[in-house]
Chains A and B, each alone.
Chain A
Amino acid sequence: MYLAVDLSFIIEKVILISVILGGSLGVAMYLTWAERKVAAIMQDRVGPNRAGPFGLLQPLADGLKLFAKEEIIPTFSNKFLFIIGPSLAMLTALMTSAIIPWGPTFDGFVLQVADINIGMLFIFGVLSVGVYGIMLGAWASNNKYSLLSGIRAAAQAVSYELALGLSLIALIMLTGTMSVKEMVEQQHGFWADGWFTWNVFKQPLGFIIFLVCSFAELNRAPFDMAESESELIGGYHTEYSSMKLGFFLFAEYINLFITSVIISCLYFGGYNFPGMDWVALNVPPLVFSLLGVVVVITKAILFVLFFMAIRWTLPRFRYDQLMNLGWKKLIPLALINMIITGAAILFWFK
Chain B
Amino acid sequence: MSLDLIIFIVLSALTLASAIGVVITRNPITSVLLLILTFFCISGHYLLMNAQFLAIVNIIVYAGAIMVLFLFVIMLMNLNKDTEPQKSTMVQFAGVISGGCLLLVILMAFQSSGIELTQTSTTVSNIGLIKVLGKKLFTDFVFPFEISSVLFLSAMIGTVVLGKKDDDIATAIQDS
Contact = CB atoms under 8 A, between A and B. Distances in A.
Contacts of A151: 72, 75-76
A81 B29 contact: yes
Interface of A: 1, 3-5, 78, 81, 116-118, 121-122, 124-125, 127-129, 131-132, 135-136, 139, 147, 150-151, 154-155, 157-158, 161, 178
Contacts of B59: 125, 128-129
Interface residues of B, number: 23
B129 A117 contact: yes
A125 B53 contact: no
Contact of A139 (B53, B64, B75): B75
A128 B60 contact: yes
B52 A132 contact: no
Interface in B63-81: 63-65, 68-69, 71-72, 75-76
Given A132-B36, A178-B130, 15 more contacts: A4-B3, A5-B3, A81-B29, A117-B129, A122-B56, A125-B56, A128-B68, A129-B59, A135-B68, A136-B33, A147-B75, A151-B72, A154-B68, A154-B71, A158-B69
Contact of B29 (A127, A129, A139): A139
B1 interface: yes
Given A128-B63, A129-B64, A121 B57 contact: yes
A287 B130 CA distance: 36
B35 to A, nearest CB: 12
Contacts of B63: 128-129
B53 A118 contact: yes
Contacts of A154: 68, 71-72
Contacts of B129: 117
Interface of B: 1-3, 29, 33, 36, 52-53, 56-57, 59-60, 63-65, 68-69, 71-72, 75-76, 129-130
A118 B133 CA distance: 13
Contacts of A116: 52
A332 B113 CA distance: 47
Nearest to B58: A125
A135 B75 contact: yes
A125 B75 contact: no
Contacts of B29: 78, 81, 139
19 contacts: A117-B129, A117-B130, A118-B56, A121-B53, A121-B56, A121-B57, A121-B60, A125-B59, A125-B60, A125-B64, A128-B63, A129-B59, A132-B36, A132-B71, A135-B72, A136-B33, A154-B71, A158-B65, A178-B130
Given A3-B3, A118-B53, A151-B75, A131 B60 contact: no
- 9 nearest CB pairs, A to B: A128-B64, A121-B56, A125-B59, A139-B75, A118-B52, A125-B56, A125-B60, A1-B1, A124-B60
